[in-house]
Amino acid sequence: MSSSGAIVVAATFVWLGMVLAISFMEAPLKFRAPGVTVPLGLGIGRIVFRALNAAELVWAVLVIVAVAIGSWAGVTVPIAAGVACGALALQLVGVRPVLTRRSDHILAGEEAPRSRAHLAYVALEVVKVIALLWLGITVLAAG
């Protein structure tokens, strides 16, 4: 495996592990802990997701650079990387601002209706997970 391939695989699977651990384990479980109120959970979630998204940006840049300098047979690797990075971009630019505004209202003690933006964020997380699996497995298989 080339050095760019090794970088893509490492960054992809670390990124995937972080998304799975935070988005699909920590986020839903924190609200089930005794004494965690919605405002407290939202406050914790904002800090955790800000850190996760910052780390994701690092992994995404690393993946993009490694894919750009690598030599790939076909377009599968660049497309899978593009889908994962595109999902992240949509989350950060399109969905996170809506979720932040809603959580601002809740943290200020106001009532806020349930938002479909949360479902959009989760849907993009699923797309990102699938794309990262696709990317990592494809690069590993190309060996």
Q: Longest Cα pair distance anywhere in the chain, in angstroms?
A: 55
Length, in residues, of the chain = 143
* Tokens at 116, concatenated: 């479909």
What is residue 23's DSSP assignment?
A: I
Query: Which whole number is the average pLDDT over 79-100?
Result: 96
Q: How far apart are CA 55 and CA 33, in angstroms?
A: 26
Query: Which whole number is the average pLDDT over 77-101?
Result: 96
Q: Residue 13: which pLDDT band, with cuts at 50, 70 and 90?
A: very high
* Tokens at 17, concatenated: 């592990």
Q: Which tens digits make up the pLDDT trace of 38-86?
A: 888 888 888 999 999 999 999 999 999 999 999 887 899 999 999 999 9
The mean-pLDDT minimum among 20-24, 68-72, 137-141 falls in: 68-72
Q: What is the pLDDT of residue 36?
A: 87
**What is the percentage of the chain residues whose pLDDT exceeds 70?**
100
Q: What pTM was estimated for this model as a whole?
A: 0.90
**Whether the Cβ atoms of residue 18 and residue 56 lie closer than 8 Å to each other:** yes
**Whether the Cβ atoms of residue 41 and residue 30 lie closer than 8 Å to each other:** yes
Q: How far apart are CA 51 and CA 49, in angstroms?
A: 5
Q: How far apart are CA 66 and CA 122, in angstroms?
A: 27
